[in-house]
Amino acid sequence: MMIFSEALKEKIRSYLERYETKRSAILPVLHEIQKEFTYIDDEHILTLEKDFGLNRVHVREVVTFYSAYLTEKPKKFRILFCDSVSCHIEGTQKVMAKIEDFMSSYKKKEKELPFSLEGVPCLGVCGGAPAMFVNEDRYLNVSCDNVEAILKKYDH
């Protein structure tokens, strides 16, 4: 069974007390777990059920519904690429293919891939489509011409 730190347990208890129902506290509780562990796996979910009485099926549904929650240990650099209609119109598919080509070069070099790539429904910056985040860094108007230069900044 996963052992949460005492500080994390206290944060979880405070959220459960603050909200009218335990179910209502799930989002901030999950954020705190992810902040401590960088992801949320089945062991974390079972601990929430056993130690805090949260329904594991509901927690699992929430974790898998929101792209903000990771279910496995993330790579060093998490690329979130907008997959909205606005970004598609501006060329998302071509840029994502360029990113995938860049990432496949690691396999050829037999190096561990430091990137993960996820298409997400919206990043909320339609005026800068196509858009992507690399961890917390936001990039707007990403194109086939500039995406490789962006990614090379993280290639170390």
Taking only the tens place, the pLDDT of each residue in 6-41 is: 999 999 999 999 999 999 999 999 999 999 999 999
Instruction: Answer yes or no: is pLDDT of 109 > 80.
Output: no
CA distance 66 to 6: 26
Residue 72 covered by a domain: no
pLDDT digit string, tens, across residues 73-86: 888 998 999 988 98
Higher pLDDT, 75 or 54: 54
The reply to whether 54 and 94 lie within a common domain is: no
Q: Which of 41, 106, 98 is nearest to 69 (CA)?
A: 41
Split into its structural domains, the chain has a count of: 2
pLDDT digit string, tens, across residues 88-103: 899 899 999 999 999 8
CATH of the domain at 87: 3.40.30.10
Question: Where are the alpha helices (H) located in the chain, listed in sequence order?
Answer: 6-18, 26-37, 42-52, 56-65, 85-89, 92-108, 147-152
The reply to whether 83 and 141 lie within a common domain is: yes
The reply to whether 147 and 95 lie within a common domain is: yes
Instruction: Answer yes or no: is pLDDT of 132 > 90.
Output: yes
> What Å distances lie between residue 118 and 47, 49, 55, 147, CA to CA?
27, 29, 28, 15
- Please state, for a pLDDT cut of 70, what percent of the chain lies above it: 97
Q: Which of 5, 9, 7 is nearest to 51 (CA)?
A: 9
Instruction: Answer yes or no: is pLDDT of 124 > 70.
Output: yes
The reply to whether 102 and 38 lie within a common domain is: no
Provide the domain limits for residue 100: 77-152
The reply to whether 89 and 59 lie within a common domain is: no
Residue 86 covered by a domain: yes
The reply to whether 98 and 145 lie within a common domain is: yes
**Among 18, 36, 65, where does a domain finish?**
65
Residue 71 covered by a domain: no
Burial 37-55 (b: 16+ CB within 10 A, else e): beebeeebbebbeeebebe
Residue 1 covered by a domain: no
CA distance 131 to 63: 24
pTM: 0.66
Under 8 Å between Cβ of 13 and 25: no
The reply to whether 91 and 59 lie within a common domain is: no
Mean pLDDT, the chain, rounded, equals: 91
Q: Which of 109, 22, 44, 34 is nearest to 78 (CA)?
A: 34
